Amino acid sequence: MAEKAFIFDMDGVIIDSEPLHARAKKAALREFGLDLEVDDLYFAHYVGRSAKSFFCDIAAQHPECTASWETMAAKKHEIYLKLLTEDESIEAIEGIRELLARLKANGYKIGLASSSVLNVVRLVLTRFGIIDYFQCITGGNEVTHAKPSPDIYLLAAQRLGADPADCTVVEDANAGVRAAKAAGMHCIAVYNPHSGKQDLSMADQIITRYEEIEL
């Protein structure tokens, strides 16, 4: 019998971090003289995608800024880590610990595939005391093509030793849902209002609470 696996996104699924990402991006842009009036709808377009996607587009739209996308992304990363470390109000999304415990008790392999870089992923999982649930952790800096490409989910499945068809992905963003389906995986989309208006219609199931997931 094939071993079943659950693979989780992180931002918006384990940590309600999209507001933090938006704050860090705005602060980073200001560091390079770009005090942009960007709204939540603009940021929603980049939910679940890499920092490279965001800052490459910014660089293309604002040629007056001479900083490279790599420099801007590094500054955003620095600011985000500071927020993540110092803001004591940040908590894991309600119900995620209980879901991970249920999955472990039922013999599922558990992996994580995040567009965030590995040091951020490990910081978040360690802070919440849940890192030991995960048999593999895959970061966005480990693949060439970011979500909605399936690369990161296929790499996570390979590391878990699971067939993609036996994997269930938990996502909150359109790009992530598309990546999971392109990888040939079952996808459960969790609605998170802080992730902006996301088209989750490609998911196999849409939920609002983790208690809705039946194993």
CATH number where 208 lies? 3.40.50.1000
Same domain, yes or no: 10 and 26: no
* 49 and 107 housed in the same domain: no
Which helix (H) or strand (E) segment holds residue 177: the answer is: helix 174-182
The pLDDT tens digits of the residues spanning 52-109 come to: 888 888 888 888 888 888 898 889 889 988 888 888 888 899 999 999 999 999 999 9
For 159, the domain range is: 5-15+92-212
Decide if 213 contacts 103 (C-beta within 8 A): no
Q: Is 87 a catalytic residue?
A: no
pLDDT at 38: 67
Q: What is the pLDDT of residues 167-187, one digit of tens each?
A: 999 999 999 999 999 999 999
Alpha helices in 14-148 (DSSP H): 18-31, 40-44, 51-61, 69-86, 96-105, 118-127
Question: Positive or negative CA dihedral for 65, 67, 73, 74?
Answer: negative
Domain boundary among 69, 86, 103: 86
Boundary of a domain, candidates 60, 86, 112 = 86
Is 9 in the active site? Answer: yes
Q: State the pLDDT at residue 1.
A: 43
What total of structural domains would you count in the chain? 2
67 and 103 in a single domain? The answer is: no
Mean pLDDT of the chain: 90
pTM of the predicted protein model: 0.82
**Given 9, 16, 151, 172, which residue is catalytic?**
9
Same domain, 81 and 124: no
- Catalytic hit among 11, 16, 151, 172: 11
- Assess whether 103 and 197 both reside in one domain: yes
d(CA 188, CA 185): 10
82/98 same-domain check: no
